[in-house]
């Protein structure tokens, strides 16, 4: 039974979700499937991807997005099986929280390799297919850290800001072919990536107080914005950053001045 506005429906479209085994990737895959898309769940965790694919009624593929050959092969497999890729959602990211002066070169390379290089590789492969078919929507997972950061977040924040400029430039390059490219910028979301913060009650509560809604988001709350950016409801939206952060970037804390 389809109750949603047809603008938000994705029936007959093929969506590739990288990082689909958990967190925002899983929520995105399930949300796209509910909107009618045929979802291909890709993740380095093959078992996890297969589990989500079963929930979504889709397919699974093992994929390390930092492996150029694997990325090209995965996209080729989707095209061979379905003939097109209408939506790409790229969510994989890692973070090493520590002061920049204490960062090792290996840590820097690990974070940038997954967050920037990996995203570039899958965007390039899927983007080429979309350019040929003259249609598509690419959604990259940025963060509030693209515009506001804190001690210990330098490299992660740099990669998330970099994704915004990657998306904007690609939007300009692919726009004439009818391909849209946008970023989603979540705030504090309950995912495996943020578990170290959730494990610290003081840190967890401080983050909740930092946004206007006074709470963390669930990963499922990212599904609606992803579906919006994937669907015809956002047909004139490209090169944009959609902040889904509970108002974090709109306010400067929870202090109530005596006004």
Which ranges of the chain have pLDDT less than 50? 1
In a domain, 259, yes or no: no
- Whether 249 is covered by a domain: the verdict is no
List 103, 156, 207, 236, catalytic entry: 156
Residue 254 lies in a domain: no
In a domain, 1, yes or no: no
Q: Could you tell me how many residues make up the chain? A: 259
Q: What is the pLDDT of residue 258?
A: 77
Structural domain boundaries, residue 84: 6-242
**Using N-to-C axis directions, what is the helix angle for 223-230 and 23-34, rounded to 10°?**
60
Residue 62 lies in a domain: yes
The answer as to whether 255 is a domain residue is no
Residue 153's CATH number: 3.40.50.720
Q: How far apart are CA 163 and CA 180, in angstroms?
A: 15
> In this structure, is residue 105 part of a structural domain?
yes
**pLDDT at residue 173, rounded to an integer:** 98
Q: Tell me which residue has tokens 């840590």.
A: 107
Compute the distance between CA of residue 31 and CA of residue 231 in angstroms, rounded to an integer. 12
> Looking at the 3D structure of the chain, how many domains does it have?
1
Whether the pTM exceeds 0.85: the reply is yes
| pLDDT tens digits, one per residue of 183-221 | 999 999 998 888 888 899 898 998 999 999 999 999 999
According to the model, what pLDDT value does residue 1 have? 42
236 is catalytic: no
The H or E element that residue 15 is part of is strand 14-18
> Is residue 55 domain-resident?
yes
**Left, alpha or beta for 96 (phi > 0: left; psi -120 to 50: alpha)?**
beta
């Amino acid at each position: 039974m389809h109750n949603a506005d047809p603008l938000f429906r994705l029936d007959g479209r093929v969506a590739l979700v990288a990082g689909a085994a958990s967190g925002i990737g899983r929520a995105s895959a399930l949300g796209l499937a509910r909107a009618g898309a045929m979802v291909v769940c890709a993740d380095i965790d093959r078992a996890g991807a297969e589990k989500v694919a079963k929930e979504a009624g889709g397919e699974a593929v093992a994929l390390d997005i930092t492996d150029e050959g694997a990325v090209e092969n995965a996209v080729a497999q989707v095209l061979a099986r379905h003939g097109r890729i209408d939506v790409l959602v790229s969510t994989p990211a890692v973070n090493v929280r520590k002061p920049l002066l204490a960062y090792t070169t290996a840590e820097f390379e690990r974070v940038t390799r997954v967050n920037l290089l990996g995203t570039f590789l899958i965007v390039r492969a899927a983007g080429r297919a979309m350019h040929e078919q003259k249609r598509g929507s690419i959604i990259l997972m940025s963060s509030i850290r693209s515009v506001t950061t804190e001690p210990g977040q330098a490299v992660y924040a740099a990669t998330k800001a970099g994704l915004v400029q990657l998306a904007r430039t690609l939007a300009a390059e692919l726009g004439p072919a009818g391909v849209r490219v946008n970023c989603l910028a979540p705030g504090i979301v309950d995912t495996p990536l943020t578990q170290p913060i959730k494990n610290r009650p003081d840190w967890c509560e401080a983050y909740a107080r930092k946004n206007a809604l006074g709470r963390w988001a669930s990963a499922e709350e990212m599904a609606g914005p992803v579906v919006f950016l994937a669907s015809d409801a956002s047909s004139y939206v490209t090169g944009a950053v959609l902040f889904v952060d509970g108002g974090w970037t709109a306010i400067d804390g929870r202090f109530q001045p005596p006004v």
